[in-house]
Structure 1
Amino acid sequence: MSELEQQAKAVRGHAIDARILSVALDILRKRGPAAVNIEAVAARAGIAKTTIYRRYDDRDQLLRAAIASSSTEVEIPTDLGTYETFKWLLRDAAGVTESMVGRGAAASIILNEYPESNDMMRAMIKSRSRLLTRFLHERVASGDLRPDLDIGLAATVLLGALMGQLIRGGEPSDEWADSVLGLLWPGFAADGE
């Protein structure tokens, strides 16, 4: 096989890998981890089951790969004030929840229907929530937030508000973020405003 043919084969392989993971994530987001299996992914992706089995031994390995593929590092903008950064974080968390986890998987996490896959998704969510925790620590240290702020509780309340909005079927819009922060800000701000 020539070098050009090998390159073309590699490109096709990467495209198939991306298609498999994209379809698995879509099923996960919409229907939860129980719906992700080799047969469902093969049917939706238009790919033979054997093609998927050459890459993944079983559904758990496929699900782990799909979840891992959706994890990305994000940097918090540094040019925003504390309140505006909270809004940005809520929007980012909403986007992550919708694009990576989805409502089906979020419901599965809350109901703890599939502990193995839920643990993987919780780990992904925890890694993303470290951004929020780090931000809270920095803003307490800078004096923008109350020095006695319970950072773990603050992060839980913010993320819980987001999950509640998604589960209720609401959209986490800018107006929603302003409402949440309007309610919580007096308890967060250093000056109690």
Structure 2
Amino acid sequence: MPDLPPEGSAREWLRFSLEQAWHQMADILGPGGFAAIVADAQFTGLFRDALRPYDEALAARLREDARAGLVRADVDAEGVVSLLLGAWLGELVRRGRVDDEWLDRSLDLLWPVLDPERA
């Protein structure tokens, strides 16, 4: 199960939560797991089950922060989660690895869309 993010800004908790989800994909599933997903639909279900608590926690927190005005009120929480999890997978496919700074680079790209000051 995901850890609760520490106190901090919406961007800080988003980074913390994504780091956990990406860790789950990298260390629990790994590159071999992605190959197994392509070959075995049953394994795909197991992977989704392992990632689901992280996915759901991240989307729920985005919705809470949207209601609290910490991110844009009209944020598509499910879409943001898919984009950010997909960014990790896309980097793995493109480069064969995901460097530590990829998380911050991804947040830098997406934060202007989430920032309530820019709404």
The TM-score, its normalising length taken from structure 2, stands at: 0.87
Aligned residue in 2 for 1:26: none
| Equivalent position of 1:187 in the other structure | 113
Q: Does the CA-based 8 Å contact 1:107-1:167 persist in structure 2?
A: no
- Which has the higher relative contact order, 1 or 2, with Cα contacts under 8 A spaced 6 or more apart? 2
Over the matched positions of the two proteins, sequence identity in percent amounts to 27
**Which residue is 1:77 aligned to?**
5
**CA–CA distance in structure 2, aligned partners of residues 125 and 192 of structure 1:** 31
Cα distance, 1:74 vs. partner?
Answer: 2.0
**C-alpha RMSD of matched pairs (Å):** 1.7
Which residue, 25, 33, 40 being the options, matches 1:114?
40
Task: Give distance in 1, aligned partners of 2:36 and 2:114.
Answer: 31
Equivalenced residues, count: 118
Counterpart of 2:4 in structure 1: which amino acid? I
With over 3 angstroms needed to count, the CA separation of the structure-2 counterparts of 1:140 and 1:96, relative to structure 1, is: same
* 2:98 maps to 1:171: yes
Deviations 1:134-154 (A, max 9, x none): 111111111011111111111
Structure 1: which amino acid aligns with 2:83? V
**TM-score, normalisation: structure 1:** 0.56
- 1:154 corresponds to which residue? 80
Q: 1:151-171: per-residue Cα shift (whole Å, max 9, x none)? A: 111110011111112233232
Which runs of 5 or more structure 1 residues have no equivalent in the other structure?
A: 1-72
Instruction: Give the conservation status (yes or no) of the 8 Å contact 2:72–2:115.
Output: yes
Q: Which residue of 2 aligns with 1:104?
A: 32
SS of 2:4's equivalent in the other structure is coil
Once the two structures are TM-superposed, the CA of residue 127 in structure 1 deviates from its matched residue by 2.5
Contact 1:89/1:132 (<8 A) preserved: yes
Q: Distance in 1 between matches of 2:35 and 2:77?
A: 25
Question: Residue 94 of structure 1 is aligned with which of 4, 10, 22?
Answer: 22
Q: Which runs of 4+ in 1 moved over 3 A?
A: none
Taking structure 1 as reference, are residues 139 and 153 closer, same or farther at Cα in structure 2, changes over 3 Å only? same
CA distance in 2, matches of 1:132, 1:183: 18
